[in-house]
Amino acid sequence: MKNLISVITCIVILSIQSTVYAVSVGERAPIFNLTTFESEKRINLSDYRGKVILLDFWASWCTSCRQAFPVLNSFHHQFKAKDFKILAINVDEDPKDGKHFLRRYSADFTVLSDPLAITPEKYQLKAMPMSFIIDRDGIVRKVKVGFKVTDKISLYRDIKMMIKE
Amino acid sequence: MSRYLLIASLVIVAGCSPVKAWQRGDLSHQEMQFNGDSLDARLNSHIYFSKEGASGEASIGGGGCGCN
């Protein structure tokens, strides 16, 4: 009986050890330093302190990301003059897949590459795509898991509200 | 005996690790899907739903007319 209890205890401990929680609302957004796809220019999140950031994680194999890109393009054009910046981080292991995707689904906003998946690990993504709206002080204010076309309205409202603050 | 069971359980459970959201690229390939052809699967599902509608296939009621 004692052994059975110890076996069950070990199984429970080992199965919960991998439970980690994504960066949530109110936390400081983890800093990253990544290169862009186009110019291999290094971008640091802290470079955009004072701006509202929509940080979007995407991958070439993610079907919802295809729907998200036109919406992100429209946000980029609507708000680019208002201290707003979109940073989209590609997490494909092979950046060629991301480049191939971008040939089909153009992105007018800044796209970064993270083939080593350091940033998704820092943000502990739960799904793909996943986006974070970060305020001017670098604090995460909204977390969006997944994407549906109807999310455009709520995202628009959140961005507009945060720019006004 | 129970000691071996304990060790075996530890080894088995320690090998379990969830696939993270950003590591699902390989799993999303067509070859990895249960249904090789999604269009074919939808058609089969529709036929099955139409035939079994009266008995509540997929937990949705229906008349079995195949028109929905």
Full pLDDT tens readout for chain B, 68 residues: 777 877 887 777 777 778 888 988 888 887 787 777 778 888 888 888 777 766 555 555 555 455 54
A14–B10 C-beta distance less than 8 A: yes
Q: Does A63 fall in a domain? A: yes
pLDDT of residue A134: 96
Alpha carbons A91 and A115: distance in angstroms, whole number: 5
Q: Does A17 touch chain B (CB under 8 A)?
A: no
Q: ipTM, 2 decimals?
A: 0.73
Tokens representing B65 are 């007319």
B3–A125 C-beta distance less than 8 A: no
Q: Does B10 touch chain A (CB under 8 A)?
A: yes
Q: Does A86 fall in a domain? A: yes
Q: Does A13 fall in a domain? A: no
Q: Does A14 fall in a domain? A: no
Tell me the mean pLDDT in the region A64-78.
Answer: 94
Domains identified in chain A, total number: 1
Q: Does A2 fall in a domain? A: no
CATH number at A102 reads 3.40.30.10
Q: Which domain holds residue A32?
A: 22-164
pLDDT of residue A55: 96
Q: Does A140 fall in a domain? A: yes
Q: Does A74 fall in a domain? A: yes
**Burial profile A119-147: b = 16 or more Cβ within 10 angstroms, e = fewer:** bbeebebebbbbbbbbbbebebbbbbeeb
Alpha carbons A53 and A136: distance in angstroms, whole number: 8
